[in-house]
Amino acid sequence: MNYKDNDLKDRTKNFTLRVLNFVETIEYSIVKKIIVNQLAKSCSSVGANYRSACRGRSDAEFISKLNIVLEEADETLFWLEIIKEMKWKDTSELDFLMNEANQLTSIFVTILKNTKSRMNLKSN
């Protein structure tokens, strides 16, 4: 593992912490509880599954696990968009989190493309 892996581990963990702190500020209702639970699950899965992907024993395992990370990052963005569109929160923190979710999604897409490309080069 190189320093960039650790940087991304830290970044995904900090993202999880910021989202969890953010959802703590949302007022309670039955509908909000459902969305907040989904958001908390998906955001915490980003960091946890990225760490797991880094421990992958092969490129194929890494790709499989990183696809889960990508799905969870995109799902997190979806729930943040719902919160914004429902006007439950409209803060700079929400904007930051949405931007960070977008950036993380882009990073994971790039890592997946690069890993698959490297695997194809190995097999030729």
What is the CA 115 to chain-centroid distance, rounded? 18
Structure-token pair, residue 86? 């429902």
Query: Looking at the predicted structure, is the pLDDT value of residue 47 above 70?
Result: yes
DSSP structure class, residue 25: T
Q: What is the pLDDT of residue 4?
A: 61
Q: What is the pLDDT of residue 124?
A: 64
| Average pLDDT of the residues in 43-59 | 95
Query: Domains in the chain and their CATH numbers?
Result: 3-119 (1.20.1440.60)
Q: What is the pLDDT of residue 67?
A: 97
- 30 vs 27, 34, 70, 79, 85, CA distance in Å? 10, 7, 28, 15, 17
List, for residues 70-122, the tens digit of each pLDDT value: 999 999 999 999 999 999 998 999 999 999 999 999 999 999 999 999 888 87
| Identity of the residue numbered 46 | V
Is residue 101 a contact partner of residue 42, using CB atoms and an 8 Å limit? no
Using pLDDT thresholds of 50, 70 and 90, give the confidence band for residue 46.
Answer: very high
List, for residues 3-32, the tens digit of each pLDDT value: 467 899 999 999 999 999 999 999 999 999
Q: What is the pLDDT of residue 119?
A: 84
